[in-house]
Structure 1
């Protein structure tokens, strides 16, 4: 019991004292997760809108596959990216393995289906309201997608924030492709796993406090934006 209280006290000192390692690890986590979220949003949001307004034979199959990919096992993604970026892999010459770039790639693969699926659901409802108007104006598909993305930006921001929340808490894939190298690829989740294994509960708890704070902030932002979006429709 004393170890627990000592760990909590040390964690508070590290957080309140703005420990250099804590700030470095938190900063890299934000850099990787925000970068992955931005790239995944650029891919996923237009993809979700495109699926919402287009009708083709395999559309339901594509949507079902997209929804299934939301539960893609992170360790499988990590293994896949590892194989691609390893020295014997097709992209090994780029030297990206065990770098933040490799971690971003893995996170993009994990969260793009999440963002695209949520975006599809949001744009599908919006498309039902805008369909007749946009068709009557003889707009192109690109113009329809741009219009729906802009008018549904609040709901789509929720999709991106959901992706970010998934990315910031990821550990399996980035442990494999990043290697958890100190001062290079060590992020909040991998550092927590390492420090817990070493018995350094103070730093592990401090990192956990930061991670929980970020997760709570993301959830609050999603909740606020969702309520704002619903209020704006009434």
Structure 2
């Protein structure tokens, strides 16, 4: 318990004293995480809607691959991204390895299947009678999708929160593709691992409290939007 209190005290000290490195690490964590979840949403939600509402050959196999991707180990995602971004890899000329962009790509790879899979499941569970009723009212395809998005809002926000949780908790892939370079690719999760390896458990706990606070604030905002009617 003394170690926990020491970590909490250290976290407050870092924030109140304006530790520039901690602020830089926290801001980079926010930047890469929010970028990754935004890209995953822009790709994952439309893809999940399409899979949930349409039928085509090979759909079941595609859903199997997406479900496998939902449990993809982060280190595997990091290995694949590293292979693609390595000098001799297909994207090696882009020079993205050991950069924040590489971390974003790894985080997208681990969160995208979650958002696609959960969004698809939400749309597959829509009552067929609701679809028939919407069509009977003469709604266009765009209007139909919009109405169904509103109907499945709670499930979609849950998918976003699950994807974001995976991103914020991810460390293996970020360490592999980012290299944990000070001032360049060091984020909160990789910093925690580094401090533990150095035996600085108070600093590691302080960083963990900062990370949990960020996760709590973001999740609270998303939950507020998800349950907006219930809060009002």
Q: RMSD of aligned C-alpha atoms?
A: 2.6
**Does structure 1 residue 111 correspond to structure 2 residue 139?**
no
Aligned to 1:139: 140
TM, length-normalised to structure 2: 0.86
In structure 1, the partner of 2:33 is 33
Task: State the partner residue of 1:86.
Answer: 86
TM-score (norm 1): 0.86
Q: How many residues align?
A: 230
Unaligned runs of 5+ in 2: none
Aligned partners of 2:40, 2:195: CA distance in 1, in Å? 30
TM superposition shift of 1:206? 1.7
Structure 1 residues 126-158: Cα deviation after superposition (integer angstroms, max 9, x where no partner): 463531134332734x55434433554453233
Deviates more, 1:117-126 or 1:70-79: 117-126
Query: For 2:150 and 2:8, how far apart are their aligned partners in 1?
Result: 45
SS in 1 for 2:145: helix
Deviations 1:106-133 (Å, cap 9, x if unpaired)?
Answer: 1111100111111112223346353113
Counterpart contact for 1:81–1:106, Cα < 8 Å: yes
**1-structure distance, mates of 2:194, 2:211:** 15
Summarize the alignment of residues 97-176 of structure 1 with structure 2, pairs less than 5 Å apart: 97-126=97-126, 128=128, 130-136=130-136, 137=138, 139-140=140-141, 144-176=144-176
How far 1:8 moved relative to its partner?
Answer: 4.7
Gaps of 5+ in 1: none
